[in-house]
Amino acid sequence: MARSTLERLVAFSLRSFSNFLLALLSVAQRCRGGGRVNNCRPLPPATEPLLLHSGVQLASRIRRRQVKCIEVIQAYINRIRAINPIVNAIVAERFENALAEAQQVDNWLAEGSEDEKTLEETVPFLGVPFTVKEAFSLEGLPNSSGLVNRKNVIATTDAVVVANLRKAGAIPLGVTNCSELCMWYESNNKLYGITRNPYSVDRIVGGSSGGEACIIAAAGSLMGVGSDIGGSIRMPAFFNGVFGHKPSAGLVPNNGQFPNAEHQRIDFLCTGPICRYAEDLIPMLKVMAGPNISKIKVDEKVSISKMKFYSMEHDGGSPFLSRVDKELTDVQRKVVDFLEIQYGVQVQHVQIHKMKYAFQIWSAMMSFEHNAEKGHGDKEQQSFSELMGNNGKKVIPIWELLKWLLGCSTHTFPAIGLGVVESWAKVNRSGNVNLVNMCQNLRTELTNLLGADGVLLYPSHPKIAPKHHQPIFMPFNFAYTAVFNVVGLPVTQCPLGLSKDKLPLGIQLVANHYNDHLCLNVAQELEKAFGGWQNPGSL
Protein backbone atom coordinates (compact mmCIF):
# COMPACT_ATOMS: atom_id res chain seq x y z
CA MET A 1 0.00 0.00 0.00
CA ALA A 2 2.85 2.34 0.88
CA ARG A 3 4.52 1.58 -2.45
CA SER A 4 1.32 2.34 -4.37
CA THR A 5 0.93 5.65 -2.54
CA LEU A 6 4.54 6.56 -3.28
CA GLU A 7 4.06 5.72 -6.99
CA ARG A 8 1.01 7.97 -7.20
CA LEU A 9 2.86 10.78 -5.45
CA VAL A 10 5.82 10.48 -7.82
CA ALA A 11 3.52 10.29 -10.85
CA PHE A 12 1.57 13.35 -9.71
CA SER A 13 4.82 15.27 -9.19
CA LEU A 14 6.11 14.31 -12.64
CA ARG A 15 2.86 15.26 -14.33
CA SER A 16 2.80 18.59 -12.50
CA PHE A 17 6.38 19.23 -13.57
CA SER A 18 5.50 18.29 -17.17
CA ASN A 19 2.55 20.67 -17.16
CA PHE A 20 4.76 23.44 -15.81
CA LEU A 21 7.34 22.81 -18.52
CA LEU A 22 4.63 22.71 -21.20
CA ALA A 23 3.48 26.13 -20.02
CA LEU A 24 7.05 27.38 -20.37
CA LEU A 25 7.18 25.80 -23.83
CA SER A 26 4.02 27.61 -24.93
CA VAL A 27 5.22 30.96 -23.59
CA ALA A 28 8.64 30.56 -25.20
CA GLN A 29 7.11 29.63 -28.57
CA ARG A 30 4.77 32.61 -28.51
CA CYS A 31 7.67 34.91 -27.64
CA ARG A 32 9.65 33.53 -30.59
CA GLY A 33 6.63 33.58 -32.92
CA GLY A 34 6.48 29.77 -33.08
CA GLY A 35 3.85 27.19 -32.34
CA ARG A 36 1.67 28.02 -35.31
CA VAL A 37 0.95 25.31 -37.84
CA ASN A 38 1.64 26.61 -41.34
CA ASN A 39 0.04 25.33 -44.54
CA CYS A 40 -3.17 24.24 -42.81
CA ARG A 41 -5.02 23.70 -46.08
CA PRO A 42 -6.65 20.26 -46.41
CA LEU A 43 -4.61 17.38 -47.74
CA PRO A 44 -5.63 16.65 -51.33
CA PRO A 45 -6.86 13.08 -51.82
CA ALA A 46 -4.75 10.50 -53.62
CA THR A 47 -6.69 9.88 -56.83
CA GLU A 48 -3.98 8.68 -59.24
CA PRO A 49 -4.63 4.89 -59.64
CA LEU A 50 -0.89 4.09 -59.62
CA LEU A 51 -0.73 5.34 -56.03
CA LEU A 52 -3.36 2.90 -54.84
CA HIS A 53 -1.71 -0.48 -55.44
CA SER A 54 0.26 -2.55 -52.93
CA GLY A 55 3.95 -3.11 -53.55
CA VAL A 56 3.29 -6.74 -54.48
CA GLN A 57 0.64 -5.72 -57.02
CA LEU A 58 2.69 -2.87 -58.44
CA ALA A 59 5.79 -5.04 -58.90
CA SER A 60 3.66 -7.63 -60.69
CA ARG A 61 2.25 -5.02 -63.09
CA ILE A 62 5.74 -3.68 -63.82
CA ARG A 63 7.13 -7.19 -64.47
CA ARG A 64 4.28 -7.93 -66.85
CA ARG A 65 4.93 -4.67 -68.72
CA GLN A 66 1.41 -3.49 -67.88
CA VAL A 67 2.78 -0.20 -66.61
CA LYS A 68 6.11 1.53 -67.06
CA CYS A 69 8.27 1.95 -63.99
CA ILE A 70 9.02 5.57 -64.87
CA GLU A 71 5.28 6.34 -64.81
CA VAL A 72 5.01 4.87 -61.32
CA ILE A 73 7.98 6.82 -59.96
CA GLN A 74 6.77 10.04 -61.59
CA ALA A 75 3.32 9.57 -60.04
CA TYR A 76 4.85 9.29 -56.57
CA ILE A 77 7.12 12.29 -57.16
CA ASN A 78 4.10 14.33 -58.22
CA ARG A 79 2.25 13.26 -55.08
CA ILE A 80 5.16 14.18 -52.81
CA ARG A 81 5.42 17.61 -54.41
CA ALA A 82 1.70 18.15 -53.83
CA ILE A 83 1.50 17.09 -50.18
CA ASN A 84 4.95 17.46 -48.63
CA PRO A 85 4.64 21.26 -48.17
CA ILE A 86 1.65 20.44 -45.95
CA VAL A 87 2.99 17.51 -43.89
CA ASN A 88 6.79 18.08 -44.03
CA ALA A 89 7.63 14.37 -44.08
CA ILE A 90 10.30 14.09 -46.81
CA VAL A 91 13.39 16.08 -45.75
CA ALA A 92 15.72 15.22 -48.66
CA GLU A 93 14.90 13.72 -52.06
CA ARG A 94 16.65 11.96 -54.94
CA PHE A 95 13.98 12.36 -57.61
CA GLU A 96 16.35 12.76 -60.55
CA ASN A 97 18.26 9.60 -59.66
CA ALA A 98 15.02 7.71 -59.00
CA LEU A 99 13.68 8.59 -62.46
CA ALA A 100 16.97 7.50 -64.04
CA GLU A 101 16.80 4.16 -62.18
CA ALA A 102 13.18 3.74 -63.27
CA GLN A 103 14.20 4.25 -66.90
CA GLN A 104 16.89 1.59 -66.46
CA VAL A 105 14.20 -0.83 -65.23
CA ASP A 106 12.03 -0.10 -68.26
CA ASN A 107 14.98 -0.54 -70.63
CA TRP A 108 15.92 -3.84 -68.99
CA LEU A 109 12.37 -5.16 -69.21
CA ALA A 110 12.14 -4.07 -72.85
CA GLU A 111 15.08 -6.34 -73.64
CA GLY A 112 13.01 -9.26 -72.32
CA SER A 113 16.03 -11.21 -71.08
CA GLU A 114 14.33 -12.54 -67.91
CA ASP A 115 11.01 -14.35 -67.56
CA GLU A 116 8.41 -13.15 -65.07
CA LYS A 117 8.92 -15.99 -62.57
CA THR A 118 12.67 -15.39 -62.38
CA LEU A 119 12.08 -11.68 -61.90
CA GLU A 120 9.63 -12.35 -59.07
CA GLU A 121 12.17 -14.55 -57.30
CA THR A 122 15.23 -12.35 -57.78
CA VAL A 123 13.81 -8.82 -57.70
CA PRO A 124 10.39 -9.12 -55.98
CA PHE A 125 10.00 -5.35 -55.62
CA LEU A 126 11.23 -4.39 -59.08
CA GLY A 127 10.44 -0.72 -59.72
CA VAL A 128 8.53 -0.22 -56.47
CA PRO A 129 9.16 3.16 -54.76
CA PHE A 130 10.11 3.35 -51.08
CA THR A 131 11.40 5.87 -48.56
CA VAL A 132 13.86 5.67 -45.68
CA LYS A 133 13.96 7.12 -42.19
CA GLU A 134 16.69 9.78 -42.22
CA ALA A 135 18.47 7.98 -39.36
CA PHE A 136 19.48 5.29 -41.90
CA SER A 137 22.23 5.75 -44.46
CA LEU A 138 20.98 6.26 -48.01
CA GLU A 139 23.93 7.06 -50.25
CA GLY A 140 24.12 10.71 -51.23
CA LEU A 141 21.51 11.95 -48.74
CA PRO A 142 21.74 13.42 -45.20
CA ASN A 143 22.14 11.15 -42.19
CA SER A 144 21.77 13.50 -39.21
CA SER A 145 18.89 12.04 -37.16
CA GLY A 146 17.70 15.62 -36.78
CA LEU A 147 20.83 16.72 -34.95
CA VAL A 148 22.02 20.19 -35.99
CA ASN A 149 25.63 19.22 -35.28
CA ARG A 150 25.35 16.58 -38.04
CA LYS A 151 23.64 18.74 -40.66
CA ASN A 152 26.57 18.35 -43.05
CA VAL A 153 26.84 14.57 -42.71
CA ILE A 154 26.06 12.90 -46.05
CA ALA A 155 25.83 9.12 -46.29
CA THR A 156 28.47 7.53 -48.53
CA THR A 157 26.94 4.04 -48.46
CA ASP A 158 23.56 2.40 -47.97
CA ALA A 159 22.47 0.83 -44.68
CA VAL A 160 22.17 -2.96 -44.94
CA VAL A 161 18.36 -2.95 -45.11
CA VAL A 162 18.37 -0.18 -47.71
CA ALA A 163 20.87 -2.14 -49.80
CA ASN A 164 18.72 -5.26 -49.44
CA LEU A 165 15.63 -3.45 -50.71
CA ARG A 166 17.53 -1.95 -53.64
CA LYS A 167 18.88 -5.39 -54.57
CA ALA A 168 15.26 -6.55 -54.59
CA GLY A 169 14.54 -3.89 -57.24
CA ALA A 170 12.95 -1.19 -55.08
CA ILE A 171 13.77 2.44 -55.85
CA PRO A 172 14.36 4.95 -53.00
CA LEU A 173 12.73 8.37 -53.35
CA GLY A 174 14.23 10.13 -50.33
CA VAL A 175 14.64 10.24 -46.57
CA THR A 176 12.04 11.21 -43.97
CA ASN A 177 11.88 13.20 -40.77
CA CYS A 178 12.36 11.82 -37.26
CA SER A 179 12.62 13.09 -33.71
CA GLU A 180 15.99 14.40 -32.55
CA LEU A 181 18.31 11.39 -32.14
CA CYS A 182 15.23 9.12 -32.49
CA MET A 183 14.29 9.29 -28.82
CA TRP A 184 10.90 10.99 -28.63
CA TYR A 185 7.45 10.19 -29.90
CA GLU A 186 6.87 13.38 -31.87
CA SER A 187 8.89 13.89 -35.05
CA ASN A 188 10.25 17.37 -34.61
CA ASN A 189 13.80 18.73 -34.60
CA LYS A 190 15.75 21.95 -35.05
CA LEU A 191 17.12 20.87 -38.42
CA TYR A 192 13.96 19.96 -40.36
CA GLY A 193 11.09 21.20 -38.23
CA ILE A 194 7.85 19.43 -37.35
CA THR A 195 5.98 16.77 -39.32
CA ARG A 196 2.16 16.91 -39.46
CA ASN A 197 -0.43 14.19 -39.48
CA PRO A 198 -2.08 13.69 -42.90
CA TYR A 199 -5.48 13.12 -41.26
CA SER A 200 -5.32 16.37 -39.28
CA VAL A 201 -2.31 18.66 -39.54
CA ASP A 202 -2.66 19.84 -35.95
CA ARG A 203 -1.89 16.27 -34.75
CA ILE A 204 1.40 14.47 -34.25
CA VAL A 205 2.73 11.74 -36.53
CA GLY A 206 4.54 9.96 -33.71
CA GLY A 207 8.22 9.18 -33.47
CA SER A 208 10.79 8.47 -34.11
CA SER A 209 9.87 7.05 -37.56
CA GLY A 210 7.11 9.65 -37.86
CA GLY A 211 8.03 11.10 -41.24
CA GLU A 212 8.16 7.61 -42.69
CA ALA A 213 4.69 6.59 -41.50
CA CYS A 214 3.30 10.00 -42.48
CA ILE A 215 4.49 9.98 -46.10
CA ILE A 216 3.25 6.41 -46.54
CA ALA A 217 -0.18 7.27 -45.10
CA ALA A 218 -0.34 10.37 -47.31
CA ALA A 219 0.27 8.14 -50.40
CA GLY A 220 3.60 9.83 -51.08
CA SER A 221 5.40 6.53 -50.58
CA LEU A 222 4.32 2.92 -50.65
CA MET A 223 6.58 1.35 -48.06
CA GLY A 224 9.56 2.29 -45.96
CA VAL A 225 12.32 1.55 -43.48
CA GLY A 226 11.86 2.33 -39.78
CA SER A 227 13.59 1.49 -36.52
CA ASP A 228 12.12 0.79 -33.10
CA ILE A 229 13.69 0.78 -29.63
CA GLY A 230 10.60 1.87 -27.71
CA GLY A 231 7.82 1.86 -30.29
CA SER A 232 9.37 4.04 -32.99
CA ILE A 233 7.84 1.96 -35.79
CA ARG A 234 4.54 1.07 -34.14
CA MET A 235 3.51 4.43 -32.66
CA PRO A 236 3.93 6.34 -35.96
CA ALA A 237 2.19 3.52 -37.84
CA PHE A 238 -0.67 3.77 -35.33
CA PHE A 239 -1.00 7.57 -35.41
CA ASN A 240 -0.95 7.53 -39.24
CA GLY A 241 -3.19 4.52 -39.83
CA VAL A 242 -0.71 2.20 -41.57
CA PHE A 243 1.01 -1.11 -40.83
CA GLY A 244 4.28 -1.37 -38.94
CA HIS A 245 6.16 -4.43 -37.74
CA LYS A 246 8.77 -4.71 -34.99
CA PRO A 247 10.47 -8.03 -35.75
CA SER A 248 11.80 -10.53 -33.28
CA ALA A 249 15.00 -9.25 -31.69
CA GLY A 250 18.03 -9.72 -33.92
CA LEU A 251 16.09 -10.76 -37.03
CA VAL A 252 16.74 -7.69 -39.24
CA PRO A 253 20.21 -6.05 -39.38
CA ASN A 254 20.50 -2.66 -37.64
CA ASN A 255 23.76 -1.70 -39.34
CA GLY A 256 23.97 1.69 -41.01
CA GLN A 257 21.82 3.87 -38.77
CA PHE A 258 22.66 6.70 -36.39
CA PRO A 259 22.50 6.46 -33.51
CA ASN A 260 22.95 2.71 -33.38
CA ALA A 261 22.53 0.60 -30.26
CA GLU A 262 25.36 -0.40 -27.95
CA HIS A 263 25.79 -3.11 -25.32
CA GLN A 264 22.46 -4.50 -24.02
CA ARG A 265 20.47 -2.04 -26.16
CA ILE A 266 21.49 -4.05 -29.23
CA ASP A 267 18.89 -6.58 -28.07
CA PHE A 268 16.17 -3.91 -27.91
CA LEU A 269 16.66 -1.99 -31.17
CA CYS A 270 14.79 -3.45 -34.14
CA THR A 271 14.70 -2.42 -37.79
CA GLY A 272 11.48 -3.21 -39.62
CA PRO A 273 8.96 -2.39 -42.35
CA ILE A 274 6.25 0.25 -42.48
CA CYS A 275 3.72 -0.06 -45.31
CA ARG A 276 0.25 0.88 -46.45
CA TYR A 277 -0.96 -2.62 -47.33
CA ALA A 278 -0.67 -5.73 -45.17
CA GLU A 279 0.27 -8.04 -48.04
CA ASP A 280 3.60 -6.17 -48.34
CA LEU A 281 4.66 -6.92 -44.76
CA ILE A 282 5.95 -10.47 -45.21
CA PRO A 283 7.69 -9.84 -48.58
CA MET A 284 9.35 -6.74 -47.11
CA LEU A 285 10.47 -8.62 -44.01
CA LYS A 286 11.97 -11.36 -46.17
CA VAL A 287 14.02 -8.86 -48.13
CA MET A 288 15.07 -6.74 -45.15
CA ALA A 289 16.11 -9.69 -42.98
CA GLY A 290 18.24 -11.29 -45.68
CA PRO A 291 19.65 -14.71 -44.67
CA ASN A 292 18.25 -14.27 -41.12
CA ILE A 293 14.76 -14.86 -42.47
CA SER A 294 15.44 -18.59 -42.06
CA LYS A 295 15.06 -18.08 -38.30
CA ILE A 296 11.28 -17.70 -38.65
CA LYS A 297 8.55 -19.75 -40.35
CA VAL A 298 7.55 -16.86 -42.56
CA ASP A 299 6.07 -19.06 -45.31
CA GLU A 300 4.26 -21.46 -42.99
CA LYS A 301 0.54 -21.61 -43.63
CA VAL A 302 -1.41 -20.18 -40.69
CA SER A 303 -4.80 -21.49 -39.61
CA ILE A 304 -6.30 -18.73 -37.50
CA SER A 305 -9.11 -20.95 -36.26
CA LYS A 306 -6.50 -23.17 -34.59
CA MET A 307 -4.64 -20.31 -32.91
CA LYS A 308 -4.99 -19.07 -29.34
CA PHE A 309 -5.85 -15.43 -28.74
CA TYR A 310 -5.54 -13.27 -25.65
CA SER A 311 -6.80 -9.75 -25.08
CA MET A 312 -5.60 -7.14 -22.59
CA GLU A 313 -7.33 -3.76 -22.84
CA HIS A 314 -4.98 -1.69 -20.68
CA ASP A 315 -1.77 -1.97 -18.70
CA GLY A 316 -3.49 -2.45 -15.34
CA GLY A 317 -3.60 1.18 -14.29
CA SER A 318 -0.10 2.62 -14.06
CA PRO A 319 -0.18 6.06 -12.42
CA PHE A 320 2.49 7.20 -14.90
CA LEU A 321 0.39 6.55 -18.03
CA SER A 322 -2.85 7.92 -19.47
CA ARG A 323 -6.02 5.87 -19.48
CA VAL A 324 -6.81 4.15 -22.76
CA ASP A 325 -9.28 6.11 -24.90
CA LYS A 326 -12.72 4.53 -24.97
CA GLU A 327 -12.77 4.34 -28.77
CA LEU A 328 -9.59 2.24 -28.69
CA THR A 329 -11.10 -0.12 -26.12
CA ASP A 330 -14.30 -0.36 -28.17
CA VAL A 331 -12.49 -1.22 -31.40
CA GLN A 332 -10.36 -3.82 -29.59
CA ARG A 333 -13.58 -5.48 -28.44
CA LYS A 334 -14.80 -5.45 -32.04
CA VAL A 335 -11.62 -7.33 -33.00
CA VAL A 336 -12.37 -9.88 -30.29
CA ASP A 337 -15.93 -10.27 -31.59
CA PHE A 338 -14.68 -10.64 -35.15
CA LEU A 339 -12.20 -13.38 -34.26
CA GLU A 340 -14.73 -15.28 -32.18
CA ILE A 341 -17.53 -15.08 -34.75
CA GLN A 342 -15.47 -15.46 -37.93
CA TYR A 343 -13.05 -18.14 -36.76
CA GLY A 344 -14.82 -19.76 -33.84
CA VAL A 345 -11.96 -19.10 -31.42
CA GLN A 346 -12.36 -18.21 -27.77
CA VAL A 347 -10.41 -15.06 -26.97
CA GLN A 348 -9.17 -15.19 -23.40
CA HIS A 349 -9.10 -11.91 -21.49
CA VAL A 350 -5.94 -11.63 -19.43
CA GLN A 351 -4.44 -9.18 -16.93
CA ILE A 352 -0.68 -9.43 -16.73
CA HIS A 353 0.21 -7.59 -13.53
CA LYS A 354 3.80 -6.72 -14.47
CA MET A 355 2.62 -4.71 -17.51
CA LYS A 356 1.64 -2.01 -15.03
CA TYR A 357 5.35 -1.36 -14.57
CA ALA A 358 6.15 -1.22 -18.29
CA PHE A 359 7.65 2.26 -18.21
CA GLN A 360 9.82 1.51 -15.19
CA ILE A 361 10.95 -1.82 -16.68
CA TRP A 362 11.89 -0.30 -20.04
CA SER A 363 13.76 2.57 -18.38
CA ALA A 364 15.68 0.20 -16.12
CA MET A 365 16.63 -2.09 -18.98
CA MET A 366 17.80 0.83 -21.13
CA SER A 367 20.07 2.19 -18.41
CA PHE A 368 21.18 -0.99 -16.63
CA GLU A 369 24.76 -2.05 -17.24
CA HIS A 370 25.71 -5.71 -17.24
CA ASN A 371 28.93 -5.44 -19.17
CA ALA A 372 30.62 -8.37 -17.48
CA GLU A 373 27.94 -10.72 -18.83
CA LYS A 374 28.09 -9.22 -22.32
CA GLY A 375 31.88 -9.08 -22.50
CA HIS A 376 32.09 -5.29 -22.84
CA GLY A 377 34.65 -4.85 -20.08
CA ASP A 378 34.40 -1.63 -18.10
CA LYS A 379 33.41 0.59 -21.02
CA GLU A 380 30.03 2.27 -20.51
CA GLN A 381 27.62 2.84 -23.35
CA GLN A 382 27.51 6.33 -24.80
CA SER A 383 25.12 8.58 -22.91
CA PHE A 384 22.33 10.53 -24.60
CA SER A 385 24.04 13.78 -23.57
CA GLU A 386 27.15 12.63 -25.43
CA LEU A 387 25.09 11.79 -28.51
CA MET A 388 23.55 15.27 -28.42
CA GLY A 389 27.03 16.80 -28.50
CA ASN A 390 28.24 14.52 -31.33
CA ASN A 391 31.94 13.76 -31.82
CA GLY A 392 32.37 12.98 -28.12
CA LYS A 393 31.51 16.48 -26.84
CA LYS A 394 29.05 15.99 -23.99
CA VAL A 395 26.14 18.41 -23.66
CA ILE A 396 25.23 19.74 -20.19
CA PRO A 397 21.41 19.33 -20.15
CA ILE A 398 20.66 21.96 -17.50
CA TRP A 399 22.73 24.54 -19.40
CA GLU A 400 20.92 23.59 -22.63
CA LEU A 401 17.58 24.06 -20.87
CA LEU A 402 18.54 27.60 -19.91
CA LYS A 403 19.71 28.27 -23.47
CA TRP A 404 16.43 26.83 -24.81
CA LEU A 405 14.40 29.20 -22.64
CA LEU A 406 16.33 32.05 -24.20
CA GLY A 407 15.82 30.66 -27.70
CA CYS A 408 19.54 29.91 -28.12
CA SER A 409 19.68 26.11 -28.03
CA THR A 410 20.10 23.97 -31.14
CA HIS A 411 18.27 21.11 -29.40
CA THR A 412 14.58 20.37 -28.94
CA PHE A 413 12.94 20.54 -25.54
CA PRO A 414 12.20 16.76 -25.36
CA ALA A 415 15.84 15.92 -26.13
CA ILE A 416 17.04 18.28 -23.42
CA GLY A 417 14.50 16.83 -21.00
CA LEU A 418 15.71 13.31 -21.73
CA GLY A 419 19.26 14.42 -21.01
CA VAL A 420 18.16 15.82 -17.65
CA VAL A 421 16.23 12.66 -16.74
CA GLU A 422 19.17 10.49 -17.76
CA SER A 423 21.53 12.37 -15.45
CA TRP A 424 19.09 11.95 -12.56
CA ALA A 425 18.55 8.25 -13.29
CA LYS A 426 22.24 7.47 -12.92
CA VAL A 427 22.01 8.39 -9.24
CA ASN A 428 19.78 5.37 -8.53
CA ARG A 429 21.32 2.57 -10.60
CA SER A 430 21.10 0.04 -7.79
CA GLY A 431 17.33 0.45 -7.71
CA ASN A 432 17.14 -0.92 -11.26
CA VAL A 433 18.12 -4.46 -10.26
CA ASN A 434 14.63 -5.43 -9.11
CA LEU A 435 13.10 -4.04 -12.29
CA VAL A 436 15.59 -5.95 -14.43
CA ASN A 437 14.55 -9.14 -12.63
CA MET A 438 10.90 -8.19 -13.18
CA CYS A 439 11.62 -7.85 -16.90
CA GLN A 440 13.03 -11.36 -17.02
CA ASN A 441 9.98 -12.70 -15.19
CA LEU A 442 7.66 -10.82 -17.55
CA ARG A 443 9.49 -12.27 -20.55
CA THR A 444 9.01 -15.75 -19.14
CA GLU A 445 5.35 -15.12 -18.37
CA LEU A 446 4.59 -13.84 -21.87
CA THR A 447 6.56 -16.65 -23.50
CA ASN A 448 4.64 -19.27 -21.53
CA LEU A 449 1.32 -17.58 -22.26
CA LEU A 450 1.79 -17.24 -26.03
CA GLY A 451 3.42 -20.61 -26.65
CA ALA A 452 3.79 -21.73 -30.25
CA ASP A 453 0.39 -20.55 -31.49
CA GLY A 454 -0.71 -17.53 -29.45
CA VAL A 455 -1.30 -13.86 -30.25
CA LEU A 456 -1.95 -11.12 -27.70
CA LEU A 457 -4.18 -8.15 -28.56
CA TYR A 458 -2.91 -5.01 -26.82
CA PRO A 459 -3.43 -1.25 -27.39
CA SER A 460 -0.87 0.45 -29.63
CA HIS A 461 -1.02 3.56 -27.47
CA PRO A 462 -3.42 4.83 -24.81
CA LYS A 463 -4.35 7.96 -26.79
CA ILE A 464 -5.55 8.59 -30.33
CA ALA A 465 -3.12 10.94 -32.14
CA PRO A 466 -2.59 13.91 -29.77
CA LYS A 467 -2.13 17.49 -30.87
CA HIS A 468 1.38 18.86 -31.41
CA HIS A 469 3.51 19.17 -28.24
CA GLN A 470 0.89 17.42 -26.08
CA PRO A 471 3.14 14.36 -25.56
CA ILE A 472 5.01 16.50 -23.02
CA PHE A 473 1.85 16.23 -20.89
CA MET A 474 2.05 12.43 -21.17
CA PRO A 475 5.73 11.59 -21.65
CA PHE A 476 5.54 7.96 -20.55
CA ASN A 477 2.69 6.72 -22.76
CA PHE A 478 5.19 5.13 -25.14
CA ALA A 479 5.47 2.31 -22.56
CA TYR A 480 2.57 0.54 -24.30
CA THR A 481 4.94 -0.24 -27.15
CA ALA A 482 8.32 -0.06 -25.37
CA VAL A 483 7.75 -3.00 -23.06
CA PHE A 484 7.85 -5.42 -26.01
CA ASN A 485 11.30 -4.17 -27.04
CA VAL A 486 12.89 -5.24 -23.77
CA VAL A 487 11.22 -8.66 -23.85
CA GLY A 488 12.19 -9.12 -27.52
CA LEU A 489 8.80 -10.18 -28.91
CA PRO A 490 7.60 -9.51 -32.48
CA VAL A 491 4.70 -7.07 -32.74
CA THR A 492 2.59 -5.82 -35.65
CA GLN A 493 0.64 -2.57 -35.44
CA CYS A 494 -2.57 -2.94 -37.44
CA PRO A 495 -4.91 -0.06 -38.42
CA LEU A 496 -8.58 -0.50 -37.53
CA GLY A 497 -10.44 2.31 -39.23
CA LEU A 498 -11.01 5.85 -37.99
CA SER A 499 -12.35 7.50 -34.85
CA LYS A 500 -15.34 9.81 -34.69
CA ASP A 501 -12.87 12.64 -35.30
CA LYS A 502 -11.53 10.86 -38.41
CA LEU A 503 -8.22 9.90 -36.78
CA PRO A 504 -6.68 6.42 -37.06
CA LEU A 505 -7.46 3.61 -34.64
CA GLY A 506 -5.26 0.55 -34.27
CA ILE A 507 -4.04 -2.38 -32.22
CA GLN A 508 -0.84 -4.29 -31.48
CA LEU A 509 -0.66 -7.98 -32.35
CA VAL A 510 2.01 -9.69 -30.23
CA ALA A 511 3.45 -13.16 -30.84
CA ASN A 512 6.18 -15.26 -29.27
CA HIS A 513 9.87 -15.13 -30.20
CA TYR A 514 10.39 -15.91 -33.91
CA ASN A 515 6.64 -16.31 -34.45
CA ASP A 516 6.42 -13.14 -36.53
CA HIS A 517 4.39 -15.01 -39.14
CA LEU A 518 1.46 -15.33 -36.73
CA CYS A 519 0.88 -11.63 -36.08
CA LEU A 520 1.65 -10.76 -39.71
CA ASN A 521 -1.01 -13.16 -40.98
CA VAL A 522 -3.57 -11.98 -38.45
CA ALA A 523 -2.90 -8.41 -39.63
CA GLN A 524 -3.88 -9.40 -43.17
CA GLU A 525 -7.18 -10.78 -41.91
CA LEU A 526 -7.93 -7.67 -39.86
CA GLU A 527 -7.18 -5.52 -42.89
CA LYS A 528 -9.93 -7.34 -44.79
CA ALA A 529 -12.39 -6.97 -41.91
CA PHE A 530 -11.68 -3.38 -40.82
CA GLY A 531 -10.59 -1.77 -44.10
CA GLY A 532 -6.89 -1.19 -43.42
CA TRP A 533 -5.46 2.12 -44.62
CA GLN A 534 -7.94 4.92 -45.28
CA ASN A 535 -7.11 7.55 -47.90
CA PRO A 536 -6.87 10.69 -45.68
CA GLY A 537 -7.49 13.17 -48.46
CA SER A 538 -10.85 11.65 -49.39
CA LEU A 539 -12.50 11.98 -45.97
State the catalytic residues.
133, 208, 232
Closest by CA to 509, choosing from 522, 498, 524, is 522
- Chain centroid, CA 71 distance in Å: 29
CB–CB of 124/169 below 8 Å? yes
For the CA atoms of the chain, what is the radius of gyration?
22
Q: How far apart are CA 200 and CA 285, in angstroms?
A: 30
**Alpha carbon separation from 269 to 107, 198, 229, 391 (Å, rounded):** 40, 27, 4, 22
DSSP 8-state code for residue 44: P
Is 304 within 8 Å of 182 (Cβ atoms)?
no
β-sheet bridge partners, residue 495: 506
Residue 157 DSSP SS3: coil
Three-class HEC string of 503-537:
CEEEEEEECCCCCHHHHHHHHHHHHHHHCCCCCHH
- Cα angle 72-88-201, degrees, rounded to a multiple of 5: 110
- Residue 478: closest CA among 95, 210, 172: 210
Distant-in-sequence contacts of 95-104, Cβ < 8 A, 24+ apart: 95/173, 95/174, 97/140, 98/73, 98/129, 98/171, 98/172, 98/173, 99/70, 99/73, 99/74, 101/73, 101/171, 102/68, 102/69, 102/70, 102/72, 102/73, 102/74, 102/127, 102/171, 103/69, 103/70
Among candidate residues 107, 82, 76, the one with its CA nearest the CA of residue 94:
76
Please give the Cα distance from 63 to 190 (Å, whole number).
Answer: 42
Residues counted in the chain: 539
- In contact, 310 and 454? CB cutoff 8 Å: yes
Do 206 and 240 form a contact (C-beta atoms < 8 A)?
Answer: yes
